[in-house]
Amino acid sequence: MAEREYDASRYAPPAEVEEMELPHARGFISKYVWSQDAKVIAIQYGLTATAIGLVALVLSLLMRLQLGFPNSLSLLDPGSYLQFMTMHGMIMVVYLLTAIFLGGFGNYLIPLMCGARDMAFPYLNMLSYWVYLVSVLILVAGFFVADGSTGAGWTLYPPQAISPGTPGIDAGIVLMLVSLAVFIVGFTMGGLNYVVTVLQARTRGLTLMRLPLTIWGIFMATVMALLAFPALFVAVLMMLMDRLVGTSFFMPEMFAAEGGTEHQGGSPLLFQHLFWFFGHPEVYIVALPAFGIVSDLIATHARKNIFGYRMMVWAIIIIGALSFVVWAHHMYVSGMSPYFGFLFATTTLIIAVPTAIKVYNWVLTLWQGNIRFTVPMLFAIGFLFTFLNGGLSGLFLGNVTVDVPLSDTYFVVGHFHMVMAVAPILVIFGAIYHWYPKITGRLLDDTLGKIHFWVTFLGTYAIFYPMHFIGLEGVPRRYYAFGETTFISDSVQALNAGITVAAFIVAFAQLLFLFNLAWSLRHGRESGPNPWQATTLEWQTPHTPPRHGNFGEELPVVYRWPYDYSVPGVKADFIPQNVPPQAVEREPDAGRGGDA
């Protein structure tokens, strides 16, 4: 390939990379509290999400105690089981995963990987975090009000969400709905930033097709979230009106023990449509960033270019677009027309195609790679297994006839924990091990990391794999206890006890991880600027951790894609994105092979 003179201005017009005016922080408060620096905001998001995520983890342990040892411990009553289950699910999906991927990794990585000084609108970005924090506090307030948090299930289906008999219908449900609305407002502020920064603030030479897949994943997830969260927003407003003023958007006429209710004619199905119009894209809002990050982890730690980069980008885009037309696969048992169900089963199964392409490409990237079994790599491989597993059970559930008997059983619980709980969490861990050195300048401890990985990976399998079998027996989800039935065999109880033990072991391993995070901050091995010999821009900053403004005096210029690993004929086994072709050192005997 002939190398023409490189003219950076042909890639990005100067306007695109105009120097931005950064708000300068003076003093501790404006630097670390009311900070407008995306890196600080990222840490704030990350710590808040982790804190609330730990609450959700403790809730799941309490539920597991009840399920595993129903008669020996009475920590929960049936009502609080439902309350804990609801809070656990909602916190994990929205307040942990969405917040940490987009608010946490998005904020940290977008400006750095795009070669920008900061987000496009730093003030809005700061506001986004504080609004998120308020939403978390409102949510937590639910634990402390008189009747406790809502027990409606994370799907919040009316009528039961606001009807007598469900825990938390006085203040709990209101707090949940308000908190969600506030979260969405805060997210929108951040989301606009992520989108505009990717589109506008890329440095010279960084064309869209030279973006790391991490950025593609986060970008597309943000686009989806911006379009899908409004559905939840609208549903939440309408439910609040039903609950507080007595309208009948969703609430049908019902006859409670003490006579009728004030509502009339509302449609619970309408809520289900709105909820899942948000709810299904939400699955991919947490999956796409994970896809992106895992691609970069695999390429970096296998020292190979990602297989089929363009296919990977288009798969992300197609998955994002298609996930808006599959929502009704969550409503197969809502009495819809079979033709409708068939339509949605078809679209659902079509999504499996781009998803499978991604999995093949990951595997092909690993194929004959010079794999370094670092902790981030272990987590990435763990993700592949878990995601594949969850994806396969998804194929079962996507088919109407199979879903109908399995719906609302532990098969579903096992499926979605595999695919959208454990798989993304593994990526988050891998990403933290990968980028911690950039954030702190020190590596996390390797041995602790490996223990953390193996216990978490095998442990989560031990927790969620057996749930599929329990589900096949027909054991329903969202039950506090199962009592005497004809269809639940004794082995189910034994499995449940085992699952609970595994859950505690996994939870314990997370303490190791937290300890590692804190301990390595001071005592970790110094990492230097680029411990993994990675190509992307965040590893090429003049300071580690990067300072305010990220790149010192001059913004980097990009000459290549982020996957120049093991390029034939080149001395080093990686070429950073900002190394111009003239500066690449070649093997003396090799001809001018390759494109580098």
Partner 1 sequence: MTVSLILIVAMMAALVGWLLRQSIAERPWVAASGPQSAPLPAGFTAPRVGLLAFLAVVTSVFALTVSAYLMRMEMGADWRSMPVPGLLWANSTALVLASLALQLAWRAAARDQARRLRQLLAAGGGFTLAFLAGQLLAWQQLEAAGYYLVANPANAFFYLLTALHGAHLLGGLMAWTRVLARLHGNADAAWLCAGVELCALYWHFLLLVWALLFGLLLTT
Binding site for ligand HEM (CB under 6 A): 60, 63-64, 85-86, 88-89, 92-93, 97, 153-155, 413, 417, 420-421, 425, 463, 477-478, 503, 506
Of the candidates 105, 200, 210, 209, which has an alpha carbon nearest to the alpha carbon of residue 575? Answer: 210
Could you tell me the two tokens for 151? Answer: 């027990």
Query: Which of 4, 26, 522, 523 is close enough to bind partner 1 by CB under 8 A?
Result: 4
280 binds, among partner 1, ligand HEM, Cu ion, none (CB under 5 to 8 A by kind): Cu ion
Q: Which two tokens stand for residue 171?
A: 């203040």
Residue 582 phi, psi dihedral angles, 5° rounding: -65, -25
- Pick what 89 binds: partner 1, Cu ion, ligand HEM, none; C-beta below 5 to 8 Å, kind-dependent: ligand HEM
CA–CA dist 83, 486 (Å, integer): 28
Report the interhelical angle of 375-398 vs 268-302 (nearest 10°). Answer: 150
CA–CA separation, 280 vs 175, rounded Å?
23
Candidates 6-14, 259-267, 278-286, 433-441 — which segment interacts with Cu ion by CB under 5 A?
278-286
- Nearest-approach distance from CB 488 to partner 1, in angstroms: 37
Contact (Cβ atoms closer than 8 angstroms) between residue 304 and residue 534: no
Closest by CA to 431, choosing from 575, 217, 259, 204, is: 217
CA distance 438 to 408: 43
Q: Which of 47, 58, 73, 208 binds partner 1 (CB under 8 A)?
A: 208
Whether the CA torsion 242, 282, 209, 352 is positive or negative: it is negative
Other CB atoms within a 10 A radius of the CB of residue 26 amount to: 7
Nearest to ligand HEM by Cβ — which residue?
89
Taking CB under 8 A as the binding criterion, the range among 142-150, 174-182, 190-198, 491-499 that sits at the site for partner 1 is 190-198
Scanning 203-211, 213-221, 280-288, 462-470 for contacts with Cu ion by CB under 5 A, the matching segment is 280-288
Rank residues 307 and 513 by Cβ distance to partner 1 and give the closer one.
307
What is the size of the binding site for Cu ion (CB under 5 A)?
A: 1
3-state secondary structure of 70: coil
Report which of 334, 355, 331 is spatially closest to residue 345, judged by C-alpha positions: 331
Which partner, ligand HEM, Cu ion, partner 1, none, binds residue 265 by CB below 5 to 8 Å per kind? partner 1
Closer residue to partner 1 in complex, CB, 276/383:
276
Provide the mask over 547-576, with x wherever binding to Cu ion is found by CB under 5 A and - wherever it is not: ------------------------------
Minimum CB–partner distance for residue 354 and partner 1 (Å): 13
Tell me which of Cu ion, ligand HEM, partner 1, none is bound by residue 545, counting a contact when its beta carbon lies within the kind-specific cut-off of 5 to 8 angstroms.
none
How far apart, in whole angstroms, are the C-alpha atoms of residue 271 and residue 157? 7
Sign of CA dihedral 139, 140, 146, 152: positive
At residue 509, the 3 state secondary structure works out as helix
Which tokens hold the place of 256? 């409670």
What are the residues binding partner 1 (CB under 8 A)? 1-4, 6, 10-13, 15-16, 120-121, 188, 191-192, 195-196, 199-201, 207-210, 223, 226-228, 230-231, 233-234, 237-238, 241, 245-249, 262, 264-267, 269-270, 273-274, 277, 305, 309-310, 313, 317, 320-321, 324-325, 559-561, 563-564, 575, 580-581, 595-596
